[in-house]
């Protein structure tokens, strides 16, 4: 598999809670730069700051709050769908259009190869720079995006190819035009029809999993979340704005919503939490994406051994059980 250089923001952005880590990292860089310009031996000082950086990163990331993880999920250097396609998937051939209205750049579909297995990739695309983000509506799909996804899933079914869905959206596009073109209906039809798609379906939340925008491609035989992703009916800011008429309560809302990976797994809403390197996927993108690829490959190998009638029945029962598990979430 080809290894390519990932495109990220020109300057890594430190989140507020990461600032102590960034201060130590900057000091370490200064010492390493100075070591090449002076006759003084700075080996001990460099070793001290290297150890301090490792220890501090473990301490900070070992105590993240729910809101901190939401911030990590939104980090500008977090691996996006385009990075997964560039680094993990080979022979990618993008498929465009819904056959009714047009093509939605916020939803990408195409044939690809992962670990030697040909499959259909369905994923939400946010964009890296401002121009690309505007073109992709910041990852918020229009109804034509969901119709495109379902159309290509049916094609994969005819070709007997497994389906991999990568979720990363703050929610479906909320504009008037999207509603006029059937946004709610398109999402509902996807949810209904995915239960009957007769090939294995694997879903991974790689960043944000907002509301129906995520659910429109989230019905799978296996559902996973990256460690610092979030998955919820509403964002913390949206929840706080409804309850307290201000986004200032977003931290409290994030805790109450139980939207991060470990609580979601404990409630039975996802099957697996995919670990990220200490420091987050934005600090070690290739390692994080490799962990996702390994989990997808493991799941597909397992699912391909199941008879189709058993696969479909298990998929149906899985989401019937989720309804009762989700009712245990405490309202803020």
Q: pTM to 2 decimals?
A: 0.89
150 within 8 A of 185, measured Cβ to Cβ: no
d(CA 175, CA 276): 34
Close Cβ partners of 8 (under 8 Å, ≥ 6 residues apart): 76, 77, 128, 285
Per-residue model confidence as pLDDT tens for the chain (332 residues)? 445 556 555 455 788 899 999 899 889 888 888 877 776 777 888 888 888 999 999 999 999 999 999 999 999 999 999 999 999 999 999 999 988 898 999 999 999 999 999 999 999 999 888 999 999 899 899 999 999 999 999 999 999 999 999 999 999 999 999 999 989 999 999 999 999 999 999 999 999 999 899 999 999 999 999 999 999 999 999 999 999 988 889 999 999 999 999 999 998 899 999 999 999 999 999 999 999 999 999 999 999 999 999 999 999 999 988 755 544 444 43
CB neighbour class for 170 (10 Å; exposed up to 12, middle 13-18, buried from 19): buried
CB neighbour class for 131 (10 Å; exposed up to 12, middle 13-18, buried from 19): exposed
**230-232 and 201-210 beta bridge pairing:** parallel
d(CA 261, CA 66): 9
């Amino acid at each position: 598999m080809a290894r390519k250089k990932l495109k990220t923001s020109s300057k890594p952005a430190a989140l507020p809670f990461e600032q102590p880590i960034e201060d130590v990292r900057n000091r370490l860089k200064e010492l390493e730069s100075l070591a090449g310009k002076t006759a003084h031996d700075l080996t001990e000082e460099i070793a001290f700051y290297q150890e301090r950086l490792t220890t501090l990163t473990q301490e900070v990331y070992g105590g993240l709050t729910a809101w901190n993880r939401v911030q990590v999920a939104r980090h500008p250097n977090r691996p996006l769908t385009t990075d997964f396609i560039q680094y993990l998937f080979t022979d990618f051939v993008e498929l465009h259009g819904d056959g009714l209205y047009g093509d939605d750049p916020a939803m990408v579909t195409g044939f690809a190869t992962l670990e030697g297995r040909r499959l259909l990739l369905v994923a939400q695309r946010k964009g890296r720079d401002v121009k690309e983000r505007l073109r992709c509506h910041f990852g918020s799909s229009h109804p034509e995006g969901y119709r495109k996804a379902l159309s290509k899933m049916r094609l994969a079914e005819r070709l007997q190819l497994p389906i991999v869905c990568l979720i990363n959206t703050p929610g479906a596009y909320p504009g008037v035009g999207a509603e006029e073109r059937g946004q709610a209906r398109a999402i509902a039809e996807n949810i209904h029809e995915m239960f009957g798609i007769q090939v294995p379906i694997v879903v991974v939340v790689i960043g944000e999993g907002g509301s129906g925008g995520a659910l429109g491609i989230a019905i799978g035989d296996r559902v996973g979340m990256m460690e610092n992703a979030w998955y919820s009916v509403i964002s913390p800011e949206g929840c706080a704005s409804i309850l307290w008429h201000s986004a200032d309560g977003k931290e409290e809302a994030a805790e109450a919503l139980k939207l991060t990976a470990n609580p979601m797994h404990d409630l039975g809403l996802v099957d697996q939490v995919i670990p990220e390197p200490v420091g987050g996927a934005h600090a070690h993108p290739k390692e994080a994406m490799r962990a996702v690829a390994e989990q997808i490959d493991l799941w597909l190998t397992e699912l391909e051994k199941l008879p189709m009638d058993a696969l479909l029945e298990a998929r149906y029962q899985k989401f019937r059980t989720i309804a009762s598990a989700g009712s245990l979430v405490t309202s803020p």
